[in-house]
Amino acid sequence: MKVLVVGSGGREHALCWAIAKSPMLKKLYCAPGNGGISSVAECTDIDAEDIPGIVGFATSEKIDLVVVGPEAPLVAGMADRLDEAGIKVFGPSAEAAMIEGSKGLMKDLCAKYNIPTADYARFDECDAAKEYIRVHGAPIVVKADGLAAGKGVILCRNENEAYAAIDHIMIESAFGDAGTEVVIEEFMTGEEASFFALVDGEHALPLVAAQDHKAAYDGDEGPNTGGMGAYSPAPVIDKAMSKQIMETIIEPTIRGMADDGIPFKGVLFAGLMITEQGPRLIEYNCRFGDPECQPLMMRLKSDFLEVLLAAVNGKLDKVELEWHRNAALTVVMAAEGYPGSYEKGSEIKGLGDAEANGAVVFHAGTTLDGERILASGGRVLGVTAMAPGVTKAQKKAYEAVAKIDWPEGFNRTDIGWRAVKR
Consecutive H or E run containing 399: helix 390-402
Structural domain boundaries in the chain:
2-94, 125-180, 191-318, 327-421
Residue 420: φ, ψ to 5°:
-65, -40
Digit-coded pLDDT (tens) for 31-71: 999 999 999 999 999 999 999 999 999 999 999 999 999 99
Residue 230: φ, ψ to 5°:
-160, 165
pLDDT exceeds 90 at position 344: yes
User: pLDDT at position 93, please?
Assistant: 98
Contacts of 38 (CB under 8 A, 6+ apart): 368
pLDDT exceeds 90 at position 419: no
Please give the Cα distance from 68 to 158 (Å, whole number).
Answer: 39
CA angle, residues 106, 207, 86, in degrees to nearest 5: 70
> For residue 378, what are the CA distances in angstroms to 212, 365, 381, 400, 404?
17, 7, 9, 20, 17
- What mean pLDDT comes out for the span 157-177? 92
- What mean pLDDT comes out for the span 407-412? 98
User: pLDDT at position 147, please?
Assistant: 85
Mean pLDDT of the chain: 95
Please give the Cα distance from 97 to 265 (Å, whole number).
Answer: 9
Q: Which of 15-24, 147-156, 265-274, 351-360 has the lowest mean pLDDT?
A: 147-156
- CATH C-level class of 125-180: alpha beta
With 0.85 as the threshold, say if the pTM is over it: yes
Residue 397: φ, ψ to 5°:
-65, -45
Most confident of 181-190, 230-239, 324-333: 324-333
**DSSP structural state of residue 286:** S
Residue by residue, DSSP assigns 130-142 as HHHHHHH-SSEEE
Burial classification of residue 277, based on how many CB atoms lie within 10 Å of its CB (0-12 exposed, 13-18 middle, 19 or more buried): exposed
Please name the fold of domain 191-318.
D-amino Acid Aminotransferase; Chain A, domain 1 (3.30.470)
> How would residue 104 be classed by pLDDT, with cut points 50, 70 and 90?
confident
> How would residue 335 be classed by pLDDT, with cut points 50, 70 and 90?
very high
* % of the chain beyond a pLDDT of 70: 100
Task: Evaluate the CA torsion angle 402, 403, 405, 408 in order and state its sign.
Answer: negative
pLDDT exceeds 80 at position 409: yes
**Mapping DSSP to helix (H, G, I), strand (E, B) and coil, where does residue 202 land?**
coil
pLDDT exceeds 90 at position 422: no
Question: Would you say 415 and 228 are in contact if contact means Cβ atoms under 8 Å apart?
Answer: yes
Is 2-94 in CATH node 3.20.20.70? no
User: pLDDT at position 418, please?
Assistant: 87
Digit-coded pLDDT (tens) for 216-231: 999 999 988 889 999 9
Is 327-421 in CATH node 3.90.600.10? yes
Q: In CATH terms, are 125-180 and 191-318 the same topology?
A: no
